[in-house]
Structure 1
Amino acid sequence: MTNVRIGVMYDRDWAPEGLPGFARDVEALGVDDLWVVEDLGWNGGISAASLALGATERLRVGIGIMPAPLRSPALLAMELATLARVFPGRLVAGIGHGVPEWMASVGVAARSPLALLEETISSVRALLRGERVELEGREVRLADIQLVHPPAEPPPVVAGVVRPRSLELSGRVADGTLIAEGHGPHDVESARALVDKGGASADHALTVLAFCSVGDDAEQVARALRPCVEGHGAWLGRSPEQVFTVSGTAEEAAQRVRELEVAGAGTVVLRMVGPEPVRQLGKVLKALGRQARN
C-alpha cells in the first residue's frame, strides 16, 4: 500500500463534454485528484475545474497550469476564490510561465517571466488570504485590491515549472511545485533540492505528472507511448528512452509510482495513454492496493 496521493489527468485532447462523466468514473475508482489542463487553444482551466468539481463529491481538482501572462492576478484570485468557497478544500491552483511561443502568439510575452510568475503567485496568494494588496512590481501592478469574498480555506497555489531558477522561485513563493511529465525519480530529488534551496516550507508538496500506459503486451504499450515520449523528449531535450513513464504491466506501473514516492513525490498524477483509460487506471490502483469507492 502506498501513501502517495494518486491523481489522473483529463487529457487536453479529450472533448470537454466528456469531463463530468470521466470525473465521476475516476472518483468511483478511488483516486484522490483529478487534474485539468489549460493550454492555448484547448480548454480553459477555471471552466474545466468548475465542471469537474460540480460533477463530483470528494475529488480534489487541480488546474495544471494557468499561464501567468494570460491572466490578471486580480481576476485569477477572484475566480479561484469563488471555486474555493463553493468547494472548500477541493481545489489546487497551478500557475506557470506558459509556453513562450504561445504567449508571444497572443501578445502577452513577459519582459521578465521570472518576475511575472513571482509577482503573480505572491499577489494571488495574498488576495486569497483576504489581504489588501498594493504592488508596483516589474510586471504586476495592483492598486489597493482586496477580495470581498475571500475563501475561509485558501486553496494551495503551486508553481508548474521546470528550470532551476524557476524551481527555486517556487520554493520561495508557492505552496507546492508541479513537475511535468517525463521526469523520473532522480529529477524529483533534484527538484526537491532546488525548491528547498529557494526556502520551501516543510509542507511544500511535489506533484509529479507521468505518462501512463498499462498492458501485458510490452510492444503494444511501447507503441501507445511512442508519440508522447518522442514529443516530450524533444521538449525536455532528452532521447525518448530517457523520458520517464509509469508503464508496463499493472504491477510494473505501480512500482514506478512507488519509485516517485520514494524520491519525494507527494502526489503522482497519471496521464493515461491508449484505449480505455479508466480501465487502465483501475488496474494500476488495484496493483497499488487502492479500493474502489461505491
Structure 2
Amino acid sequence: MTALRIGVMYDRSWDPAGLPAFAREVEALGVDDLWVVEDLGWNGGISAAAVALGATERLRVGLGIAPAPLRSPALLAMEIATLARVFPGRLVAGVGHGVREWMRQVGVAPRSPLALLEETLGAVRGLLRGERVTVDGRELRIDGVELVHPPAKDAVPQVIAGVVSPRSLELAGRAAQGTLVAEGHGPQDLHTARAAAQRGGAGADHTLTVFTFLGVGDAAAPALREAVAGHAEWLGRDTSETFAAGGTAQEAADALRALGAAGAQTVVARVCGPEPLGQLREVLTALRG
C-alpha cells in the first residue's frame, strides 16, 4: 500500500508575502505537498506555485484549483510547462469549473461548464504531452497549437479535476488523471467520488486528493467551527455531516488516516485558527507515532 501523502494548504486569507517562508518551514517539517489556491480576488495560483517552488527544494506544489473559464487552456499549459521545465516532478495542476457566481462576475461563465472543463482538460493534457492540439468543441476553439518547450517526457505534471457534483466526478474519471475533493467531504464521500470516477472510466492509476479543515486544540476550535459552518452552507449539508479533522492532535491524525483508508492518496490540511505551523507539527508527530 502506498504511503499517505500529507499536504498543507497556504490559505487564501494569508498574505502572499508570507508564502516563501511558510513553504520553507513546512518543507523542513517533512510535509509532502504544499497547495496554493486560485480564488477570484485572492491570489494568483500559477504565480503562487512559482513562489513556493522557488523557495523550496523537494516539496511538491499543488495548484488547487485553476478555474477553467478564467484561463485559456493554451496559456494555462504554457504556464504549467514553464514550471515543469524548471522544477521537474514537483507540480500537480488542479483544474475545475470555478465558482459560477465568480465566473459571472468577470463575464466568463460558459454555457456548459461540463463541456468547457472536459475540453480544457483534454487540451491542457495534450499540450503538456507535446502534441499539436486542435479543438472544435462546444466551448473551445483551438487551431493547431503546440508548445515549443513542453515538459520533459518523464516529468509531465499530473492534471487533476477539482469537482464536487456527481456528473463532474464522472467527468474527472473520464478526462483527468485524478480527482481533487473539496473540504468538508469525509470517508463515505470519498468512496462515492471514487465510484463516480470509475463510472467515468477512471483506471487504477487515477488518484484521489482531498482537502480537509484541521484545527488542533481549544484555541483552534472556534475557527474550525466557523470554517465548517460556512462550508456546510456552500455544500448544502448540515454541519454534522461536514467532515473536519479536529480535537486533539491524535484525534486529528486519526481523521486524516480515515481519509487515507477511504482511498485518498493525498490529504491536504487547511489549518484553522492560530499557530498553524504548531498545529501541523503536532499532527505530524501524532501521525508518525
TM-score using structure 1 length: 0.96
Is contact 2:134-2:144 (8 Å) kept? yes
1:6-48 CA-partner distances (Å, limit 9, x unpaired):
0000000000000000000000000000000000000000000
Aligned counterparts, 1:167-182, within 5 A:
167-182=169-184
Residue 164 of structure 1 is matched in structure 2 by: 166
Residue 223 of structure 1 is matched in structure 2 by: 222
1:165-212 CA-partner distances (Å, limit 9, x unpaired):
000000001010100000000000000000011001211110000000
Residue 267 of structure 1 is matched in structure 2 by: 266
Aligned counterparts, 1:227-246, within 5 A:
227-246=226-245
Aligned counterparts, 1:101-120, within 5 A:
101-120=101-120
Cα distance between partner residues in 1 of 2:112 and 2:33:
32
Aligned counterparts, 1:77-116, within 5 A:
77-116=77-116
The SS at the match of 2:69 is: helix
Is contact 2:222-2:273 (8 Å) kept? no
Deviation at 1:84, TM superposition (A): 0.4
Moved more, 271-280 or 221-230: 221-230
In structure 2, the gaps of 5 or more residues are: none
Specify the code of the residue in structure 2 equivalent to 1:198. G
Moved more, 234-243 or 91-100: 234-243
Divergent runs of 4+, >2 A? none
Residue 45 of structure 2 is matched in structure 1 by: 45
1:124-174 CA-partner distances (Å, limit 9, x unpaired):
000000000111111111101000000011100000000000000000010
Cα distance between partner residues in 1 of 2:59 and 2:150:
22
The SS at the match of 2:190 is: helix
Cα distance between partner residues in 1 of 2:72 and 2:222:
41
Aligned counterparts, 1:1-294, within 5 A:
3-152=3-152, 153-215=155-217, 217=218, 220-289=219-288
Deviation at 1:224, TM superposition (A): 2.2
Identity of aligned residues (%): 70
Specify the code of the residue in structure 2 equivalent to 1:26. V
The SS at the match of 1:208 is: strand
Cα distance between partner residues in 2 of 1:186 and 1:45:
29
The structure with higher relative contact order (CA 8 Å, sep 6+) is 1
Deviation at 1:3, TM superposition (A): 1.9
The SS at the match of 2:231 is: helix
In structure 1, the gaps of 5 or more residues are: none
Cα distance between partner residues in 2 of 1:195 and 1:96:
15
Alignment length, in residue pairs? 287
Deviation at 1:221, TM superposition (A): 4.1
The SS at the match of 1:288 is: helix
Q: CA RMSD in A?
A: 1.2
Is contact 2:221-2:273 (8 Å) kept? no
1:71-123 CA-partner distances (Å, limit 9, x unpaired):
11100100000000000000000000000000000000000000000000000
Specify the code of the residue in structure 1 equivalent to 2:263. G
Cα distance between partner residues in 2 of 1:87 and 1:119:
26
Specify the code of the residue in structure 1 equivalent to 2:52. A
